[in-house]
Amino acid sequence: MPRYARHLQDVTIANPFPGLPRLEALIGRRIDSRIGSNESMAIAGHTVSQQWGEALYELARLYPDPYAGAIRQRAAALNGVEAANVVVDAGADSLIALFLRARVSPGDVVVCTAGTYPTFRYFAEGVGARVVEVPYAQHGDSLVNDLPALLAAVQQHQAALLYLANPDNPTGSYLPLAEVTALRAALPADTFLLLDEAYIDFCDQAERQGTLPDTARLRTLSKAHGLAGLRIGYALAPAEWVAKADQIRTQYGTSSVAQAAAVAALDQPECSQRLIADTLALRDQLQQALQQGGLRIIPSHTNFLAIVYPDADTALARQKALWLQGVAVHRPPHAAMQHVLRITAHPDSLAKKVIQILISP
């Protein structure tokens, strides 16, 4: 049996409002009249319909499917798993928080790389975890997650959970799925692997498929599908972990609008494919321009590039100079990474003033 957070281990929590799609499945027919949900009746000329149209108004007026079943079905087909292996929530950030709540009890140790996606630590501290960090490994020009060191830290501290961003944020580096699978096999059986794959759409299709034991593979529609503002994502996990996550998930955390947009995006993959191709072309142009200026760039498998400066002061000076031009770039908050600037592959990144400031001596 999987090891959950202590207060969840022997408890099954029933959702009091499972939603109309599950009721329809139970009774074997469509619900035509929604007079039990206390939703507002439609009125002519509503502000939302006037500004954005009747279709959006109708979505906004009605409660969403608490289980986002249409998204689960599409995500399962896309990734070669069953719908029972998919859980949907309000973006990868909410999924990080969800699986921390499912596995980690106050005082438990969690392990991650020092300087990786900082929201993980933010949520881990919020559930009372003790965070143990391992430095990045230096591989040529790249900073990569040090899998042997992470494994050793998990074993030393008997960690409840290991967080691994792959592709990594903020470095952009990537480790093949075969290496991650080998890591999972070496981890203790009761250590949960939280595998943040928010940028996996920029990697080969074969790397995205399937589930791993006692692992949640997190996905988002923010990056390769262009839906960052709607906050929608999903995780691939063993069915028992999905079931436990569903027991503690905010049931109406993903809106009807977000769900409809996600279904539309997943049903028209050519739009995402075009966005990915255009992004990678821009990333290559940006990398060439920055390297021609003598900058050290970490090889990226994402929609951004990480520039490694000699020290934090140099990176901060570039960031402040860009602020004065009304340009925001990201400098990671972790002390180990403040000599890095993260630049999104975007047409604005190729502006002459931006390139000049980034490469200025």
pLDDT in tens, 225-273: 999 999 999 999 999 999 999 999 999 999 999 999 999 999 999 999 9
pLDDT in tens, 92-147: 999 999 999 999 999 999 999 999 999 999 999 999 999 999 999 998 888 999 99
State pTM to two decimals: 0.95
Half-sphere exposure of 280 (CA within 13 A, CB side): 13
pLDDT at 24: 92
Q: What is the DSSP string of 153-213?
A: HHHHHT-SEEEEESS-TTT-----HHHHHHHHHHS-TTPEEEEE-TTGGGS-GGGG----T
- Specify the residue for token string 């798993």: 81
- Give percent above pLDDT 70 in the chain: 100
pLDDT at 139: 87
pLDDT at 204: 87
Relative to beta strand 109-113, strand 130-134 is: parallel
Task: Spell out the residues 6+ positions from residue 343 whose beta carbon is closer than 8 angstroms to its own.
Answer: 286, 290, 304, 305, 306, 307, 329, 330, 349, 358
CATH class entry, domain 64-267: alpha beta
For residue 87, count other CB atoms closer than 10 A to its CB: 28
In this structure, what token pair is assigned to residue 319?
A: 């960031």
Residues 110 and 158: their CA atoms lie apart, in Å, by 9
**pLDDT bracket for residue 51 (50, 70, 90):** very high
For residue 30, is pLDDT > 80? yes
User: What is 270-359's CATH number?
Assistant: 3.90.1150.10
Residues 112 and 199: their CA atoms lie apart, in Å, by 18
pLDDT at 1: 84
For residue 205, is pLDDT > 90? no
Residues 302 and 198: their CA atoms lie apart, in Å, by 9
pLDDT at 329: 97
pLDDT in tens, 286-327: 999 999 999 999 999 999 999 999 999 999 999 999 999 999
State the average pLDDT for the chain.
Answer: 96
Instruction: Please name every residue paired with 291 in a beta bridge, in sequence order, or none if there are none.
Output: none
Spans of all domains in the chain? 20-62, 64-267, 270-359
**pLDDT bracket for residue 46 (50, 70, 90):** very high
Residues 94 and 86: their CA atoms lie apart, in Å, by 14
